[in-house]
Structure 1
């Protein structure tokens, strides 16, 4: 007596397109693991790695065989059902708890089955094969490619037996749960297996066994109640078949399902596909709905560089070097007479410090600018604020971590960039040398004029050399003219110095602007290499992760 209530199974083997699609989804899952490592939940990544390993091994093994597991509770009759399908008493039967302690396997078709059974870790003592000589008598050739497993009881008092069931449930191509009319609502079965594996409805079959114990009118009611219970637990459109190992034709409906499953050769890929579906959905919350930016916006980059420039003190350095430029220029274009007078009342240490200003500035940037680390940290926080707002929490953390990847070395790098940007004082404009030469020529002319006046006074006025001195030295009337010449040279020197100082003031401003721009360029290179590019790289990783999730869920 049998009653079958199952949807029609697809005919024909799995298409190459579906195999290629599965391969592509597994590749996408592998990329998700690779891209998510160090960023996403370790348990999720571990589960994905286990699935990839298991799926890869299963796909490398025989695709001509379909692994079907018979699982159930004590007394459900799964071993009797196993023997009925095999046509031989291969698995011990009875009501003693437990009866089956190790998985038993019966294989139709030996080619390629050995490595598969090794991977399934079925004890060689419990492997059986239906040879063609036996099959010819029972017309079992239609089951060619079937690997039927009889598992220990899932409710066994032995923990090792439950672990055996748990292991096979995760690797079987088709899950067959054998229940009986008395215990089909067993809480342990539904709580531990039906509910957690509810989305595996496509590769799950429920066998209501021992229907011979029911009255004819009770079978349909029992199937309807079982279906209602399964659907309430999330098993969509459950496939249910009724069997009775006690009668000769009581397993024909179940056997037909096995024949269709083996012929279709889709259970393996469908099982792995469902595994991928289940895991890809767990990755979905890490994908995010908003399209991520490609990198830091131009405005955010400008603001970052400005903050780093201020944190490094570049404007102050530029101003100091501008002043140093003017002071340096004064040594060349200043009126030497004025410089000698100023030196008489100036602090010598000031001049000494000026000559060492550049080295002091360079030495100031040989180590971290510790006092400004906080400003750097604030800049790193602000540059990611406009990026991470729409990202999932895990990726927002990874982007912020990418921005701070070089935080400890940023102050030193900024200091080094300023140090390299400082100009050298070994070279000066040529016109400075020309002005200096002209100024000393005027000084020489002034000294000669003063000396001439002294000689005119000595020889012309006081007649120190006698009555017949040289006309240029003995004519007192030349004194006013020579004095005018001396005053003129002094005035020319002062005017030259004043004009050149104005020119230096203009050029020093341009010099400061050029140096500030040079430092800005150096700081931009530091910001790009240590902040902007790591953020862009992390956003690119996230974009590729999103594409991989889409591919895995397609």
Structure 2
């Protein structure tokens, strides 16, 4: 009897737990991918990943000492006869009419721990059978202990529920055995519905060419060669093909040997799950992208964002207004009091606007959405994302843009609050303003006293209205000197005002710059928290996603 089944891989783990760490890490990565893809990737793909995670979790929690092997095939392929031949008992009905096997039948070698596994497989208890731990084969050490062999309904059954049963088991079995016969091994339904979709599962797929007793020896080789060619053309790499005949015990020896080796290796469960994980990992590749993603918003785009948000909030205009308010406020302290008194006697529209209270009015102006222009904010958010989405897949382009706009509606108010916090209170003024004001009033007092002195000198020394009480007020010759004193005092007041105004001009410019810097610092803090952090988190999530995709694929 010919066989073309290759021996087990030499470096395959002999303990199922040996493969668990790598598989567990890949499943963990798939779980992270599924979480990261929520709301970003195709829901159908995420659903398939969730189903695989659930199935893998359940299978790994069940017996690792048992290997689930399914016998599947079409009507008349002889799979039920093959099932009975391997089991050594007539357990599954056989025949050529359609369908014969209506429910899955399971034969178990070694019952310890098999119950929960069979419950999970949903095998009816009426169709569960147990066998001894060893078969009477040529070698005494040949053992199928740990094998769960399942005979499935026909995949080409006219009953939809039968086909659904086959589909369910094909998706969860540890080892897939497709039984074909010499007449229908090229059956289109089998190849289209199962061989091609599961071509990547070549490592856990076995093709059994049954009923070779009907062929001559040279015809068997021709059938095997043609079947191999067909399978390879459909993407099944290095297909394992075994020839069998259920009419004699020798006819199933090759199949038994494969089953013995598979059960002994105990890696079919992990290998099947690993292939499934790799397969679904490949489906995430379109969302991975080829270029290395940026880890954060680069400095030029960050600076441009800050400038745009600063302009949108009107920080330069507010700083200029604050500078003007500073100068107006200073005028109340450094101006020559006499000129200020004259000015107050005139109608002053600026005073009527209460510019002395400008800061408090400005502080109240940033409490609502008018603190910044929503349109300018939206433009700034779009511009900052343009610098990081160039090489990202479309799904992640949308997610990065969504992250940037996560707080777009509240940004104007946040910027307004930041501006408000940057404005200082108005109760404090520089000490030198008070010194200048005190000096100015002192000069005013001296000027007034000088004028009074001149008046007394004129009254007593010139008009001689009465006898002078003292020479200081009766000597008319002092008038020029007192007049000079008054003129000098007025000149000192004017000079003090002019000098102070120059100083105020310089300090007001610094005050405006300081206010603008404070507003920028607070705007930067808002932008970092509300815009840059969400974008950077999304980019970090994408970078982790790319690494996890490679891990899931086993790359």
Using the TM superposition, name which of 453-462 and 488-497 deviates more: 453-462
Maintained 8 Å contact 2:49/2:280: yes
CA apart distance, 1:462: 3.2
Maintained 8 Å contact 2:372/2:416: no
- Assess, with a 3 A threshold, how the Cα gap between structure 1 residues 136 and 248 changes in structure 2: closer, same or farther: closer
- 1:4 equivalent in structure 2: 3
- 2:173 equivalent in structure 1: 172
Confirm whether residue 345 of structure 1 aligns to residue 377 of structure 2.
no
CA distance in 2, matches of 1:204, 1:198: 9
CA distance in 1, matches of 2:229, 2:19: 32
CA apart distance, 1:435: 0.8
Confirm whether residue 525 of structure 1 aligns to residue 525 of structure 2.
yes
Confirm whether residue 411 of structure 1 aligns to residue 390 of structure 2.
no
CA apart distance, 1:550: 2.2
CA distance in 2, matches of 1:152, 1:10: 31
CA distance in 1, matches of 2:105, 2:7: 28
Task: Report SS of the residue matched to 2:60.
Answer: helix
- 1:27 equivalent in structure 2: 28
Maintained 8 Å contact 2:209/2:241: yes
Using the TM superposition, name which of 493-502 and 206-215 deviates more: 206-215
- 2:487 equivalent in structure 1: 487
- 2:503 equivalent in structure 1: 503
Maintained 8 Å contact 1:336/1:443: yes
Maintained 8 Å contact 1:10/1:260: no
- 1:374 equivalent in structure 2: 375
Maintained 8 Å contact 2:314/2:372: no
What does 1:222-261 correspond to in 2, within 5 Å? 222-261=223-262
CA distance in 1, matches of 2:230, 2:76: 21
CA distance in 2, matches of 1:486, 1:545: 84
Using the TM superposition, name which of 451-460 and 201-210 deviates more: 451-460
- 2:387 equivalent in structure 1: 386
Where structure 2 has 5 or more consecutive residues not aligned to the other structure, the ranges are: none
CA distance in 1, matches of 2:112, 2:141: 16
CA apart distance, 1:165: 0.6
CA distance in 2, matches of 1:221, 1:79: 25
- 1:118 equivalent in structure 2: 119
CA apart distance, 1:101: 1.0
- 1:302 equivalent in structure 2: 303
Maintained 8 Å contact 2:14/2:264: no
CA apart distance, 1:529: 1.1
- Assess, with a 3 A threshold, how the Cα gap between structure 1 residues 4 and 148 changes in structure 2: closer, same or farther: same
- 2:152 equivalent in structure 1: 151
- Assess, with a 3 A threshold, how the Cα gap between structure 1 residues 106 and 467 changes in structure 2: closer, same or farther: closer
CA distance in 2, matches of 1:482, 1:384: 75
Maintained 8 Å contact 2:142/2:260: no
- 2:545 equivalent in structure 1: 545
CA distance in 2, matches of 1:155, 1:320: 84
CA distance in 1, matches of 2:18, 2:249: 41
- 1:452 equivalent in structure 2: 453
Task: Report SS of the residue matched to 2:381.
Answer: helix
CA apart distance, 1:53: 1.6
CA apart distance, 1:93: 1.2
Maintained 8 Å contact 1:14/1:265: yes
Maintained 8 Å contact 1:13/1:263: no
- Assess, with a 3 A threshold, how the Cα gap between structure 1 residues 542 and 5 changes in structure 2: closer, same or farther: same
- 1:277 equivalent in structure 2: 278
CA distance in 2, matches of 1:513, 1:145: 81
CA distance in 2, matches of 1:305, 1:544: 28
Task: Report SS of the residue matched to 1:307.
Answer: helix
Query: Alpha-carbon deviations, 1:462-518, whole Å to 9, x = none?
Result: 333x34554333333333222222211111110111111111111111111111111
Using the TM superposition, name which of 300-309 and 134-143 deviates more: 134-143
CA distance in 2, matches of 1:348, 1:219: 111
Maintained 8 Å contact 2:461/2:468: no
Query: Alpha-carbon deviations, 1:146-204, whole Å to 9, x = none?
Result: 10000111111111111111110011011011111222111111111010000111111
Maintained 8 Å contact 2:372/2:415: no
Q: How many equivalent pairs are there?
A: 551
Task: Report SS of the residue matched to 1:14.
Answer: coil
CA distance in 2, matches of 1:288, 1:441: 78
Task: Report SS of the residue matched to 1:426.
Answer: coil
- 1:183 equivalent in structure 2: 184
Where structure 1 has 5 or more consecutive residues not aligned to the other structure, the ranges are: none
CA distance in 1, matches of 2:236, 2:342: 102
Query: Alpha-carbon deviations, 1:273-304, whole Å to 9, x = none?
Result: 11111111112222222222221122221111
CA distance in 2, matches of 1:266, 1:320: 77
Using the TM superposition, name which of 437-446 and 481-490 deviates more: 481-490
- 2:130 equivalent in structure 1: 129
- 2:218 equivalent in structure 1: 217
CA distance in 2, matches of 1:387, 1:499: 53
TM superposition score normalised by structure 2:
0.95
CA distance in 1, matches of 2:551, 2:441: 82
Query: Alpha-carbon deviations, 1:207-243, whole Å to 9, x = none?
Result: 1112223334322222222111111111111111122
Maintained 8 Å contact 2:377/2:412: yes
Maintained 8 Å contact 2:101/2:154: yes
Confirm whether residue 328 of structure 1 aligns to residue 329 of structure 2.
yes
Maintained 8 Å contact 2:135/2:143: no
CA distance in 2, matches of 1:150, 1:85: 11
Using the TM superposition, name which of 221-230 and 305-314 deviates more: 221-230
- 1:431 equivalent in structure 2: 432
- 1:288 equivalent in structure 2: 289
Give RMSD over aligned pairs. Answer: 2.0
Confirm whether residue 476 of structure 1 aligns to residue 493 of structure 2.
no
